[in-house]
């Protein structure tokens, strides 16, 4: 109980700090924080699969990138999309794609699932890379940020970096709460039960395929949400946003932070991006540092940073 | 400065440029750090230092350094500080990286890059933040076409610009039927489009366009198809490892010598050692060649080889010209980061390059001579100028904001 | 397409398929026997190609470079298994994904530091330099046919090794029951080390013998990794026979996808989407048999 309260206090302190950030930090740091929050939402969505449902996806960028592409496709070039219609479109579109890919992928298990998700993500990559749907290999610009006008009232301006930051912060908090609720629901418990022992859940009468497919779809939808704001922040979308390097990076974030805890995914996203920045500053051979770090984390930090910080809590609850 | 709001349109641009100019003038009175001018001019180098294009990134940086060193190591009398960043040729990270150089590192000018997708993301950032951007390689037509902007310049080439002269040469030689083959990605498509434009204008016909998904290098099925189509000649765009494999496969399939192979210059640039005799005799067009009969080229090659202990290539030349452009522009402003003045200077610059003299088109792409080259031994030997002072793609594809 | 061209394309397809089998076989073996997923498989392919180039340059002969390269990569594979992979057997696949993903980054950077970032080529070694004329314009390179023969021989050897030898028996037993094998007094740790090293050497060998027809360049490993995955998924994990069938199927789909024109509702589907063809094949197979063509029922 006490550690729960401590965590809540910590959470509130962090949130307050995040709200205060634009008042004290310069543009670059606000933009960096925006990016970290977007990637945190992305990482949380993957954690739902990897950490809770036991589905290790190596193609999760497909949904992130698809959400991003839908921003560009929601409006003709040089025109603004409507925020209130394009956002549900992107999230819904990513969910639909996830349901379609999940329909094939969720039938498989273990190593198979890893490879199948990777291969399907590559398929989506090639659709955008090889056709003229959205700019081909060079990608496409979002010339004008989505318009947020609602009955003549414009609550915020997505082209303003401070506004965008607060919108993303709100989306981040909302995504966190929604995932919390999902995980605490009977549905969430079944999904976690499947990870522990699928056969038992099956013999208890749960249609595990359907449960896993729904989890996969929800994760895809949340990744699409992150992708939407990724596209809005960058103002450009390209096929690499669907690529397997991004899928690998986000998986790294989840594990680095500590999978199976949403907070871990958030910590992981921040740590990964900051680590990259530090390494780039250190050496021209920073990829070697990054690669070595990943190897060391895999070997010696299986529970990630969160596992370092809260070993006692884990011991008590388990 | 809140760039977000006052980006679009000429007035906003001038207003901001004016503000900057004013700030520069006040520079002597204010503490330097307060307005981001610390005495040194900061140039951001966003280039590939890892991955497939790492070698190109190094050549470009060397070229820039050489040009500035030859001008006394300064820009308009001020010291230069380079801020380097590895772009990894990853478009997914490009916006972030460019933003970092502009917003955090506060560079006065940004140079980059090789990969077209990354370069276009940089164009996007440059258009939003109004930062000065010099593109030392990436040939994406759009950067100096529909996406052109006053603050964006290219010192290399446009993809179509390299393909176009080959079309002209081949049509003039009386070649009628051609099959084209390339990767299905922007650079290949633009190169083939440029070629086709000139070739069909000259009376030729492209009987079939063959495409491979990038970066697939299994050419065999398409070579078989070329053999059964029996065109008069083949036009191709490949580069790097793919180019080597294509040249070798073309020879091994027995097509070399039977169906003449032509291409954009990248087919035979930087790959001659690797390709061996499979490249011998192949003709290509490019804005640079080995053994050009230009005094400037000879001194450049000597200086480059002496400084960096390696031979320069077309990428080094492009970097060198980027350096020359910076030197000229900052000389005009006497070292002030006065964007409108810098832009004006760059628009009017005449670059005495190792590739020959060139200047900027209205779209801010070089108007330059394109050479016809033939592989002889381990050289891309120039056999003449294919098209003089080529301004392509047509500058009217660019509607310069505020022009 | 007339019959002559069709037959040549068929040859192309099978030849490409055999090469894919060679590249993917090490992956499927390591999977099937050890249950280890190795994302760095493509990196070993790249290392093989660079080794062939640098050794052939130093030794002066491709044929001597080949065995030396194989020995070196076997040693490398053993080292990596001993240092890294062996620590992960008891853990979830996730950590293998992560560790080998880290290896990709590290190997790519090390490759740049050791061998530079230039594109290289290796001349086709004698006596396979020639080509056999097929039509008046088209010839077929002998070296490609030689590769096909080598791959076929290797496939047969692998089959015999696994099905007919004592070692193969150990391997098959290890695949199904680790504890039992151990209780029989067989050193499972050494067995795994050997299998992993064999997988690494297979990937590197593929890189070496395809170097003369392909070329040697940075980032070449990433391209083969994904196609290897698709081969393994379609064929069924751990099935050498499945990998062979799947690889040839992919060869067919890829080859004919590139040269067939197909329009659906006014939209040109092929060859524009040829890059997607093998993934569609995979989706179809998964719908039909989620465990792959020759995989064990899940």
Mean pLDDT of chain C: 87
C98 vs A110, A130, A297: nearest CB: A297
* Closest by CA position to C201, among listed C21, C10, C9, C23: C23
- A272: which residues sit within 8 A by CB, 6+ positions away? A39, A249, A252, A253, A256
The domain that holds C42 is classified in CATH as 1.10.3470
| Closest residue in chain B to residue A288, using alpha carbons only | B50
Spell out which chain B residues touch chain C, with contact meaning CB-CB distance below 8 angstroms.
50-55, 184, 210-218, 220-225, 227-228, 230, 240-245, 248-249, 252-255, 258-259, 270-271, 273-276
* In a domain? residue C194: yes
* In a domain? residue A316: no
| B16 in the same domain as B90 | yes
Q: What is the mean pLDDT of residues A13-40?
A: 92
- H-type alpha helices, chain C: 3-29, 41-59, 62-83, 93-115, 142-164, 166-176, 178-183, 188-210, 220-235, 240-259, 277-288
Looking at residue B286, what is its pLDDT? 96
Q: Which has the minimum average pLDDT: A77-81, A159-163, B86-90?
A: A77-81
**Residue from A112, A213, A288, A303 whose CB has the most chain C CBs within 10 Å, to mutate:** A112
* In a domain? residue B124: yes
| B89 in the same domain as B26 | yes
* Confidence category of residue C121, pLDDT binned at 50, 70, 90: confident
Domain housing A225: 22-242
- Rounded Cα distance, C40 and C37, in Å: 9
**Separation in Å, CA of A266 to nearest CA in chain B:** 19
| B150 in the same domain as B24 | yes
pLDDT at residue C185 tops 80: no
Q: What is the mean pLDDT of residues C35-54?
A: 93
| B212 in the same domain as B139 | no
The answer to whether B120 contacts A236, with C-beta atoms less than 8 Å apart, is yes
pLDDT digits (tens, 9 = 90+) for B66-109: 999 999 999 999 999 999 999 988 888 899 899 999 999 999 99
| B166 in the same domain as B149 | no
* Confidence category of residue B3, pLDDT binned at 50, 70, 90: very low
* Confidence category of residue C60, pLDDT binned at 50, 70, 90: confident
- Rounded Cα distance, B241 and C227, in Å: 18
pTM equals: 0.87
Pairing outcome for strands C267-270 and C262-264? antiparallel
What residues of chain C lie within 8 A of the CB of B258, using their CB? 137
Looking at residue B2, what is its pLDDT? 38
- Rounded Cα distance, B317 and B327, in Å: 15
* Confidence category of residue B280, pLDDT binned at 50, 70, 90: very high
Chain centroid to CA B332: how far? 24
DSSP assignment of A18-42 = HHHHHHHS-HHHHHHHHHHHHHHHH
DSSP assignment of A82-109 = BHHHHHHHHHHHHHHHHHHHHHHHTTS-
Residue B37, SS3 per DSSP: coil
| B274 in the same domain as B127 | no
* Closest by CA position to C18, among listed C206, C152, C201: C152
| Closest residue in chain C to residue A291, using alpha carbons only | C102
Q: Copy the structure tokens of residue C49.
A: 């190609």
pLDDT digits (tens, 9 = 90+) for C192-202: 899 899 999 99
Query: What's the burial of B309, exposed, middle or buried (CB within 10 Å: 0-12/13-18/19+)?
Result: exposed
What residues of chain C lie within 8 A of the CB of A255, using their CB? 94-95, 98
What residues of chain A lie within 8 A of the CB of C93, using their CB? 56, 110-111, 114
pLDDT digits (tens, 9 = 90+) for A53-73: 999 999 999 999 999 999 989
Number of structural domains (chain C) is 1
What residues of chain C lie within 8 A of the CB of A295, using their CB? 84, 99, 102-103, 106
- Rounded Cα distance, C238 and C295, in Å: 7
Looking at residue B7, what is its pLDDT? 34
* In a domain? residue B397: no
Angle between helices A61-73 and A208-234 (to 10 degrees): 50
Residue B167 per-residue DSSP state: H
Looking at residue C171, what is its pLDDT? 72
| Closest residue in chain C to residue A59, using alpha carbons only | C226
pLDDT digits (tens, 9 = 90+) for C211-250: 988 788 888 888 788 889 899 989 988 788 899 999 999 9
pLDDT at residue C263 tops 50: yes
Chains A, C: CB contacts under 8 A, how many?
130
* In a domain? residue B52: yes
The answer to whether A138 contacts B142, with C-beta atoms less than 8 Å apart, is yes
**Separation in Å, CA of A270 to nearest CA in chain C:** 18
Number of structural domains (chain A) is 1
| B230 in the same domain as B143 | no
The answer to whether B128 contacts A141, with C-beta atoms less than 8 Å apart, is no
* In a domain? residue C93: yes
* In a domain? residue A250: no
Residue A259, SS3 per DSSP: coil
A235 vs B124, B142, B189: nearest CB: B124
| B216 in the same domain as B313 | no
How many C-beta neighbours within 10 Å does residue A174 have? 12
* In a domain? residue B42: yes
The answer to whether A238 contacts B92, with C-beta atoms less than 8 Å apart, is yes
**Separation in Å, CA of C108 to nearest CA in chain A:** 8
* Residue after which a domain boundary falls, among B257, B286, B315: B286
What residues of chain A lie within 8 A of the CB of B92, using their CB? 238, 240-241, 243, 245-246
The answer to whether B221 contacts C12, with C-beta atoms less than 8 Å apart, is yes
Q: Copy the structure tokens of residue B155.
A: 């010192």
| B168 in the same domain as B128 | no
* In a domain? residue A265: no
Mean pLDDT of chain B: 88
| B245 in the same domain as B227 | yes
| B152 in the same domain as B18 | yes
Domain housing B88: 10-157+294-360
Number of structural domains (chain B) is 2
Sign of CA dihedral C44, C46, C51, C52: positive
Q: Which has the minimum average pLDDT: A97-106, B95-104, B190-199, C87-96?
A: C87-96
Domain housing C41: 3-288
Residue B336 per-residue DSSP state: -
What residues of chain A lie within 8 A of the CB of B121, using their CB? 139, 234, 236, 238
- Rounded Cα distance, C22 and C26, in Å: 8
pLDDT at residue A296 tops 80: yes
pLDDT digits (tens, 9 = 90+) for B115-124: 988 999 999 9
More confident residue, B239 or B151: B151
pLDDT digits (tens, 9 = 90+) for B261-272: 999 999 999 889
The domain that holds B72 is classified in CATH as 3.40.50.2300
The answer to whether B124 contacts A141, with C-beta atoms less than 8 Å apart, is yes
| B49 in the same domain as B103 | yes
* In a domain? residue C296: no
Q: Which chains touch C (3 or more CB pairs under 8 A)?
A: A, B
The answer to whether C230 contacts A255, with C-beta atoms less than 8 Å apart, is no
Query: What's the burial of B250, exposed, middle or buried (CB within 10 Å: 0-12/13-18/19+)?
Result: buried
* Residue after which a domain boundary falls, among B231, B264, B286: B286
Chains B, C: CB contacts under 8 A, how many?
136
Looking at residue B403, what is its pLDDT? 57
* Confidence category of residue B137, pLDDT binned at 50, 70, 90: very high
C99 vs A116, A127, A299: nearest CB: A299
The answer to whether B255 contacts C138, with C-beta atoms less than 8 Å apart, is yes
């Amino acid at each position: 109980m006490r550690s729960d309260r401590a965590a809540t206090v910590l959470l509130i302190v962090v949130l307050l700090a995040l709200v205060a950030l634009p008042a004290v930090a310069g543009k670059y740091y606000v933009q960096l924080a925006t990016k970290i929050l977007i990637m945190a939402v992305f990482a949380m969505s993957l954690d739902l699969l990897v950490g809770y449902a036991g589905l290790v996806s190596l193609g999760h960028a497909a949904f992130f990138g698809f959400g991003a592409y839908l921003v560009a496709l929601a409006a003709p070039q040089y025109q603004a999309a409507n925020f209130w219609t394009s956002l549900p479109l992107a999230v819904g579109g990513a969910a639909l794609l996830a349901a379609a890919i999940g329909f094939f992928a969720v039938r498989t298990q273990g190593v198979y699932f890893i490879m199948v998700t990777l291969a399907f993500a590559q398929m989506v990559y090639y659709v955008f890379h090889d056709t003229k749907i959205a700019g081909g290999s060079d990608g496409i610009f979002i010339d004008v940020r989505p318009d947020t006008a609602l009955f003549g009232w414009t609550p915020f301006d997505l082209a303003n970096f401070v506004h965008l930051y607060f919108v993303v912060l709100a989306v981040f908090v909302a995504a966190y709460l929604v995932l919390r609720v999902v995980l605490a629901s009977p549905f969430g418990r079944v999904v976690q039960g499947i990870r522990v022992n699928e056969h038992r859940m099956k013999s208890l009468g749960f249609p595990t395929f359907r449960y896993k497919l729904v989890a996969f779809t929800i994760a895809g939808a949340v990744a699409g949400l992150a992708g939407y704001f990724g596209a809005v922040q960058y103002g450009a979308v390209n096929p690499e946003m669907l690529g397997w390097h991004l899928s690998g990076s986000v998986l790294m974030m989840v594990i680095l932070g500590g999978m199976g805890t949403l907070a871990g995914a958030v910590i992981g996203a921040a740590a990964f991006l900051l680590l990259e920045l530090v390494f780039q500053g250190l050496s021209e051979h920073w990829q070697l540092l990054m690669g070595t770090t990943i190897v060391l984390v895999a070997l010696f930090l299986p529970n990630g940073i969160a596992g370092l910080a809260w070993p006692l809590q884990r011991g008590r609850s388990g | 400065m809140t760039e977000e709001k006052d980006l679009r349109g000429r007035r906003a641009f001038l207003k901001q440029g004016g503000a900057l100019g004013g700030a520069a003038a006040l520079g002597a009175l204010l503490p330097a750090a307060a307005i981001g001018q610390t005495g040194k001019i900061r140039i951001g180098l966003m280039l590939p230092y890892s991955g497939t294009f790492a070698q190109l990134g190094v050549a470009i940086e060397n070229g820039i350094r050489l040009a500035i060193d030859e001008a006394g190591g300064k820009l308009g009398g001020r010291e230069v500080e380079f801020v380097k960043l590895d772009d990894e040729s990853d478009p997914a990270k490009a916006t972030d990286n460019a933003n970092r150089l502009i917003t955090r590192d506060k560079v006065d000018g940004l140079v980059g890059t090789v990969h077209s997708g990354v370069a276009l993301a940089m164009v996007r950032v440059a258009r939003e933040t109004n930062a000065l951007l010099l593109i030392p390689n990436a040939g994406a037509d759009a950067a100096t076409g529909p996406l052109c902007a006053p603050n964006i310049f290219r010192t290399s080439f446009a993809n179509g610009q390299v393909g176009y002269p080959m079309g002209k040469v081949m049509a003039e030689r009386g070649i009628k039927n051609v099959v084209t083959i390339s990767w299905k990605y922007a650079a290949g498509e633009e190169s083939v489009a440029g070629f086709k434009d000139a070739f069909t204008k000259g009376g030729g016909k492209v009987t079939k366009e063959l495409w491979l998904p990038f970066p697939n290098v299994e050419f065999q099925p398409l070579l078989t198809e070329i053999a059964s189509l029996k065109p008069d000649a083949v036009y191709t765009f490949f580069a790097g490892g793919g180019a080597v494999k294509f040249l070798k496969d073309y020879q091994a399939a027995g097509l070399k010598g039977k169906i003449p192979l032509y291409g954009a210059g990248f087919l035979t640039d930087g790959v001659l050692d690797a390709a061996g005799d499979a490249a011998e005799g192949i003709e290509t067009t490019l804005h640079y060649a080995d053994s050009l009969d230009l005094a400037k080229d000879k001194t450049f090659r000597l200086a480059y080889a002496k400084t960096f202990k390696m031979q320069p290539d077309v990428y080094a030349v492009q970097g060198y010209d980027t350096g020359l452009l910076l030197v000229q522009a900052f000389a005009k402003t006497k070292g002030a980061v006065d964007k409108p003045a810098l832009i004006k200077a760059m628009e009017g610059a005449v670059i005495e390059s190792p590739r020959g003299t060139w200047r900027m088109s209205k779209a801010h792409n070089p108007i330059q001579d394109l050479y016809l080259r033939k592989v002889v031994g381990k050289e891309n030997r120039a056999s003449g100028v294919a098209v003089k002072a080529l301004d392509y793609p047509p500058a009217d594809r660019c509607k310069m904001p505020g022009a | 397409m007339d019959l002559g061209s069709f037959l040549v394309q068929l040859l192309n397809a099978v030849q490409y398929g055999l090469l894919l089998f060679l590249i993917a076989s090490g992956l499927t073996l390591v999977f099937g026997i050890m249950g280890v997923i190795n994302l760095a498989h493509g990196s070993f392919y790249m290392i093989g190609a660079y080794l062939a180039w640098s050794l052939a340059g130093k030794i002066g002969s491709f044929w001597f470079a080949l065995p030396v390269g194989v020995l070196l990569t076997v040693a490398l594979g053993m080292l990596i298994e001993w240092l890294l992979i062996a620590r992960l057997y008891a853990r979830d696949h996730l950590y293998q994904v992560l560790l080998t993903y880290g290896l990709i980054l590290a190997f790519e950077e090390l490759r740049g530091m050791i061998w530079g970032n230039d594109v290289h080529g290796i001349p086709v070694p004698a006596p396979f330099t020639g080509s056999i004329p097929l039509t008046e314009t088209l010839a077929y390179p002998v070296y490609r046919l030689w590769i096909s023969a080598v791959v076929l021989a290797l496939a047969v050897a692998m089959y015999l090794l696994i099905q007919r030898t004592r070692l193969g028996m150990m391997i098959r037993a290890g695949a199904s029951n680790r504890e039992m094998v151990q209780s029989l007094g067989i050193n499972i740790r050494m067995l795994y080390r050997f299998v992993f090293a064999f997988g690494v050497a297979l990937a590197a060998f593929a890189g070496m013998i395809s170097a003369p027809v392909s070329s040697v360049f940075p980032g070449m490993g990433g391209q083969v990794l994904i196609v290897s995955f698709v081969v393994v998924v379609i064929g069924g994990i751990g099935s050498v026979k499945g990998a062979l069938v799947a690889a040839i199927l992919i060869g067919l789909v890829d080859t004919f996808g590139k040269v067939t024109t197909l329009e659906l509702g006014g939209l040109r589907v092929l060859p524009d989407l040829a890059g997607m063809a093998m993934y569609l094949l995979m989706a179809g197979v998964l719908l039909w048999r989620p465990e792959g063509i020759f995989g064990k029922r899940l």
